């Protein structure tokens, strides 16, 4: 087969292909249509349920049946996306107005997932059937082919309520995201009615009807004054707080009860809030919380914080708002598909699109109904006229050779070939001029229609048809009449399905949290050889000094408000707040230091734990296993970062010791092979923490520095080496980078 080679830039093909893909995702998958407020997967699922006859007044059907049918007919993108959409449509804590009636486990507000689709059942809600799927047979919306052109699906559902605002929407497309909060059905309907009556209604007046978002979880919107700008631009940030109530408990105590949560706290974020609230107590941000329990149920949210007697409940409430997600931000970006393309819409433009769509639906509906009534009128008039000349028509039928011949006579007055009783009858027949439709109806008419009561019923039906035609023509030709029909319909939905507002709208002041000053007192930091750390008061330590000194690797006197520097053999410094270390009794187990800072016991070992206050005012001496030494000014370690590199190391080198050099004048290095070298500290240069240091001792091929000791003029320290007691202050004073002297066994 002959082919044609088209030469083009590869980048041009990629750009065009990517744009096509992006628009497909934007329009056909991720973004809702402004007219019905539904994404394609939601629309297809609801339409499939309608097609299957799963109405609100009929039995539930298995979700798996709905998902399979939707996937096979309309949405070939996997069952998980369809079932996920079905589940969300049934969740009253996510939807302002649930569109599916779910039966079974459809998940919980705390983030529990729905049961598998083979276990759950569903059917349409009454509002969905009446406000989204009614009049589908009246040609009010266009249908298009499905993915394999074997079925027809609606391009949009004939939604009678502004669902984009009522239920909101969230979705991520290619390069864009939509986030529209839910609103109150009654308020939105009132705004639509007001805008139909007065298209010049100001934005301020619209906000008199739509106060703001109405989240299913309730809560309090606290930036009322910013809503006008958000609704005018279609984007912004809505600040939401949970609702907290104070209840009296036994013994004069009080409890804080959270009865409503921010919409953004749905799902796993409730568990995170509980952890964050518990962390406030564990980290001593507050000592007023005695217990936290989640007593939420199907009846609503109830998270209880038990307080100790005399607790400052107002301060604690503000602390929760400031330090947890009990106060959060909902980002608004009212992006939807309008006229076939994505567009960021204002509140007014969403309402105007909805109103235009309602008039379009009503026009198609009543034009369709008018056409049917005109068709009925034509038939009725033919039958009424036929009753007046019924004897002549019977004579034509008896004298005709075929149905075609009789019909030709009724329509065109052709009498040839028809046997008439009299010439007068033939003349009368020649003057008949029924329409094709009337003639067909006459030929199909049954004899019982000639009964007197049936003729009266026909005349009454004809009068009703004429009244309908007059009404439909008035609706189609008069804006006010059509508006009245739409308004009556909307008021009916509001009356039947409206509900009181759940979310309060107000202006609240920014919370300025004046943190209570923590009582400062000295403590003793203890860390055992397994890395479990705790603090105790000094008197407890003195009573248990012998046991504490024996059982713990690190014993450090410090202030409870201070910070500790944990230096590790990998050359890192981890900063640890003493307040983060659990404070308690002597026999408490403590908490692994890994959980208190960035320390990782599987990769590094603590060489020294020193109070930051002491470190800042002194010099630190670093000694590595490879024999490098240096002095560093302590101010370099006073940083805000939780972890920094405290020194530079050669590959495979490790820090052997980190010590504060205060009154000490000499350094003694001891190696694995028991070489000792003593020299003055002044021979070690002061360097930056990023330096590697200088050679402090010459080592053998396999030797390493094992320990470092500091001496002053008055100290007489002894160490035991190979069973021999060695007095360090009696060692010969040598030079830095010498080999030192080997200690022989006793």
Residues noted as catalytic: 119
Give the integer Cα–Cα distance in Å for 132 and 97. 12
Place of tokens 């069973």: 723
DSSP state of 697: S
DSSP state of 138: G
Task: Please give the torsion angle defined by the CA atoms of residues 30, 38, 211 and 353, in that order, rounded to the nearest 10 degrees.
Answer: 100
Query: b or e along 131-155 (b: 16 or more beta carbons within 10 Å of the residue's beta carbon)?
Result: bbbbbbebebbeeeebeeeeeebbe
Half-sphere exposure of 73 (CA within 13 A, CB side): 20
CB distance 344 to 164 below 8 Å: no
Tell me which residue of 575, 660, 595 sits closest to 623, measured CA to CA: 660
474 phi/psi in degrees, rounded to 5 = -65, -45
339 backbone φψ class: left, alpha, beta (φ>0; ψ -120 to 50): left
- Cα dihedral sign for 164, 167, 168, 169? negative
Distance (Å) of CA 130 to CA 44, 55, 142, 398, 498: 17, 10, 19, 51, 14
- Cα dihedral sign for 194, 195, 199, 205? positive
Task: Please give the torsion angle defined by the CA atoms of residues 43, 45, 46 and 51, in that order, rounded to the nearest 10 degrees.
Answer: 120
CB distance 101 to 137 below 8 Å: no
Tell me which residue of 518, 509, 502, 505 sits closest to 318, measured CA to CA: 509
Give the integer Cα–Cα distance in Å for 379 and 461. 11
Distance (Å) of CA 555 to CA 433, 526, 534, 589, 597: 117, 5, 10, 15, 18
- Cα dihedral sign for 677, 678, 683, 686? positive
Give the integer Cα–Cα distance in Å for 294 and 271. 9
Give the integer Cα–Cα distance in Å for 454 and 451. 5
* Token pair for 457: 């019923």
The answer for residues whose C-beta is within 8 angstroms of residue 509's C-beta and 6 or more apart is none
Tell me which residue of 724, 691, 565, 708 sits closest to 637, measured CA to CA: 565
The CA radius of gyration of the chain, in Å to the nearest whole number, is 43
Give the integer Cα–Cα distance in Å for 533 and 115. 44
Give the integer Cα–Cα distance in Å for 426 and 414. 10
Determine the Cα angle at 76 with ends 74 and 78, to 5°: 130
Report the DSSP pairing between strands 643-645 and 655-661: unpaired
């Amino acid at each position: 087969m002959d082919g044609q080679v088209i030469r083009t830039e590869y980048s041009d093909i990629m750009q065009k292909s990517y744009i096509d893909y992006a628009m497909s995702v934007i329009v056909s998958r991720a973004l809702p249509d402004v007219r019905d407020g539904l994404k394609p997967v939601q629309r297809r699922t609801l339409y499939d349920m309608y097609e299957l006859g799963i109405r609100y007044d009929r039995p539930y059907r298995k979700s798996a049946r709905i998902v399979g049918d939707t996937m096979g007919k309309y949405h070939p993108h996997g069952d998980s996306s369809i079932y996920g959409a079905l589940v969300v449509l049934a969740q009253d804590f996510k939807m302002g107005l649930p569109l599916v009636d779910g039966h079974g486990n459809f998940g919980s507000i705390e983030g529990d997932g729905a049961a598998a689709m083979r276990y759950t059942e569903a059917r349409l809600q009454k509002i969905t059937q009446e406000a989204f799927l009614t009049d589908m047979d009246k040609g009010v919306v266009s249908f298009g082919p499905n993915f394999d052109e074997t079925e027809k699906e609606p391009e949009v559902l004939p939604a009678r309520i502004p669902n984009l605002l009522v239920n909101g929407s969230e979705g991520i497309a290619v390069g864009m995201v939509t986030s529209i909060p839910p609103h109150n059905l009654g308020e939105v309907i009132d705004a639509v009615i007001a805008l139909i009556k007065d298209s010049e209604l100001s934005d301020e007046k619209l906000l008199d009807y739509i106060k703001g978002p109405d989240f299913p979880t309730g809560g309090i919107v606290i930036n009322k004054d910013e809503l006008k700008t958000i609704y005018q631009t279609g984007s912004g940030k809505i600040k939401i707080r949970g609702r907290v109530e104070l209840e009296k408990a036994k013994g004069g105590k009080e409890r804080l009860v959270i009865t409503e949560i921010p919409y953004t706290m749905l799902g796993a974020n409730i568990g995170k809030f509980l952890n964050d609230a518990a962390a406030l107590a564990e980290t001593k941000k507050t000592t007023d919380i005695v217990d936290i329990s989640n007593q939420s149920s199907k009846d609503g949210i109830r998270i209880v914080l038990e307080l100790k007697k005399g607790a400052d409940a107002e301060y604690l409430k503000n602390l929760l708002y400031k330090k947890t997600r009990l106060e959060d931000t909902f980002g608004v970006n009212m992006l939807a598909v309008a006229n076939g393309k994505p567009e960021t819409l204002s509140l007014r433009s969403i309402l105007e699109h909805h109103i235009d769509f309602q008039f379009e639906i009503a026009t198609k509906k009543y034009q369709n109904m008018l056409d049917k009534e005109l068709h009925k009128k034509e038939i009725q008039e033919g039958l009424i006229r036929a009753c007046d000349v019924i004897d002549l028509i019977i004579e034509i039928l008896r004298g005709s050779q075929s149905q075609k011949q009789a019909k030709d006579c009724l329509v065109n007055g052709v009498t040839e070939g028809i046997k008439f009783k009299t010439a007068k009858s033939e003349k009368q027949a020649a003057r008949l001029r029924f329409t094709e439709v009337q003639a067909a109806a006459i030929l199909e008419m049954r004899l019982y229609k000639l009964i007197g009561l049936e003729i009266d019923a026909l005349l009454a039906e004809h009068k009703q048809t004429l009244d309908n035609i007059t009404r439909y023509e008035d609706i189609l030709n008069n804006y006010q009449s059509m508006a009245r029909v739409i308004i009556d319909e909307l008021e009916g939905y509001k009356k039947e399905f409206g509900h009181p507002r759940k979310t309060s709208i107000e202006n609240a002041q920014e919370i300025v949290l004046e943190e209570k000053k923590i009582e400062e007192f000295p403590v003793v930091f203890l860390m055992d050889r397994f890395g479990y750390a705790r603090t105790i008061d000094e008197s407890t330590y003195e009573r248990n000094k012998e046991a504490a000194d024996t059982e713990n690797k690190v014993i450090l006197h410090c202030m409870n408000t201070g910070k500790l520097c944990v230096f590790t053999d990998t050359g890192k410094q981890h900063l640890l707040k003493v307040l983060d270390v659990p404070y308690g009794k002597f026999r408490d187990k403590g908490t692994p230091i890994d959980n208190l800072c960035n320390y990782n016991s599987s990769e590094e070992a603590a060489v020294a734990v020193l109070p930051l206050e002491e470190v800042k005012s002194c010099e630190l001496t670093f000694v590595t296993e490879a024999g490098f030494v240096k002095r560093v000014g302590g101010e370099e370690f006073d940083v805000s970062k939780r972890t920094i590199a405290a020194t530079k190391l050669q590959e495979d080198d490790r820090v052997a010791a980190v010590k504060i050099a205060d009154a000490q004048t000499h350094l003694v290095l001891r190696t694995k092979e028991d070489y000792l070298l003593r020299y003055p500290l002044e021979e070690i240069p002061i360097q930056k923490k990023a330096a590697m240091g200088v050679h402090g001792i010459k080592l053998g091929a396999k030797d390493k520095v094992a320990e470092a000791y500091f001496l002053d003029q008055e100290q007489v320290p002894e160490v035991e080496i190979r069973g021999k007691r060695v007095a360090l202050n009696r060692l010969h004073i040598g030079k830095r980078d010498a080999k030192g002297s080997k200690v022989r066994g006793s």
